[in-house]
């Protein structure tokens, strides 16, 4: 079979790609974490990841053009080298890592981070400065979790959100970070057997949805106030953190 034809698959895949496209358009990887879990309702998580990665690469290309030159390069200089290390660790341990535990870990960390913001820092107006040890740690975690379970968004945001960048700068930084991470993941994913003709053909069918959703995300970031932008990021991060923690606990207790 050269293409998935099950209508239930597309009932899940189209909303999943829209969520990922909005995220790639500038919401920092937050909504992108919904993509594989939604598609996993109708196909295996491994196949969902294989279908999603080529779509992510197309979205990344569109987003890179939209945010050309807009990024916090200091953040990228700190985060990206560490992310490469994280990807390498993920590749080397892919056969041994329990992705259920990783899911639980990221869920707990995400909720703790949001809770800290709500109860301690909500009224703070001063942005935190760059911190190389902190950025290196979260960059490595983002690379590792992105490779293992497509949950690189929360660790990336652990470092970026306290910097309180302008929405366009935040979005451009996220776009370059995840575009680089996804490009590097292609080779190890290939050798791990995550691509086949059916998956690639299905990815191609979903490309138009990905393009429209990504451009919509770019548009929303351009017109959205900073307060609204960050409120959405924290709310979605909290919801996804709760979902990841639930999935992790359910998997470990099963």
Give the total number of structural domains in the chain.
Answer: 1
Which tens digit of pLDDT belongs to each residue from 67-123? 887 899 999 999 999 999 999 998 888 777 776 777 787 778 778 777 877 776 555
Q: Domain span at residue 88?
A: 7-253
Is the residue at 1 inside a domain? no
Q: Is residue 109 part of a domain?
A: yes
Identify whether the C-beta of residue 207 lies closer than 8 Å to the C-beta of residue 17.
no
Report CA-CA distances (Å) from 1 to 51, 82, 204, 206. 15, 40, 15, 17
pTM of the model: 0.78
DSSP 31-70: GGGGHHHHHTTTS-HHHHHHHHHHHHHHHHHHHHHHTTT-
Judge whether 2 lies within some domain.
Answer: no
- Specify burial of residue 212 (Cβ count, 10 A radius: 0-12, 13-18, 19+): middle
In a domain, 169, yes or no: yes
The pLDDT tens digits of the residues spanning 205-226 come to: 999 998 898 888 888 878 877 7
In a domain, 140, yes or no: yes
Q: Is residue 48 part of a domain?
A: yes
- Residue 34: inside a domain: yes
Which tokens belong to 96?
A: 């041994």
Residue 102's nearest CA partner among 139, 134, 150 is 150
The pLDDT, as a whole number, for residue 46 is 66
Whole-angstrom distance, CA of residue 168 vs CA of residue 70: 7
| pLDDT of res. 224 | 79
Q: What is the mean pLDDT of residues 134-144?
A: 94
Per DSSP, which regions of the chain are E strands? none
Q: How many angstroms separate the CA atoms of 211 and 251, rounded?
A: 34
Is residue 156 situated within a structural domain? Answer: yes
């Amino acid at each position: 079979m050269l293409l998935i034809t099950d209508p239930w698959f597309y009932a899940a895949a189209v909303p999943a790609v829209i969520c990922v496209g909005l995220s790639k358009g500038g919401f920092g990887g937050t909504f992108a974490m919904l993509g594989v879990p939604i598609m996993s309702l109708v196909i295996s998580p491994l196949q969902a990841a294989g279908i999603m990665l080529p779509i992510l690469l197309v979205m990344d290309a569109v987003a890179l053009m939209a945010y050309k030159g807009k990024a916090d390069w200091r953040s990228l200089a700190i985060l990206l080298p560490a992310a490469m290390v994280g990807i390498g660790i993920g590749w080397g341990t892919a056969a041994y890592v329990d992705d259920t535990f990783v899911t639980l870990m990221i869920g707990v960390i995400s909720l703790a981070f949001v809770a800290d913001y709500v109860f301690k820092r909500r009224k703070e107006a001063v942005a935190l400065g760059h911190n190389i040890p902190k950025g290196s740690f979260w960059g490595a975690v983002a690379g590792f979790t992105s490779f293992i379970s497509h949950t690189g968004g929360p660790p990336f945001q652990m470092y970026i959100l306290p910097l309180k960048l302008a929405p366009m700068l935040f979005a451009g930084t996220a776009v370059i970070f995840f575009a680089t991470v996804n490009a590097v993941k292609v080779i190890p994913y290939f050798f791990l057997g995550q691509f086949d003709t059916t998956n690639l053909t299905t990815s191609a069918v979903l490309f138009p949805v990905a393009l429209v959703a990504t451009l919509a995300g770019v548009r929303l970031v351009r017109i959205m106030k900073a307060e609204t932008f960050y409120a959405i990021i924290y709310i979605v991060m909290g919801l996804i953190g709760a979902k990841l923690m639930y999935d992790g606990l359910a998997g470990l207790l099963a």
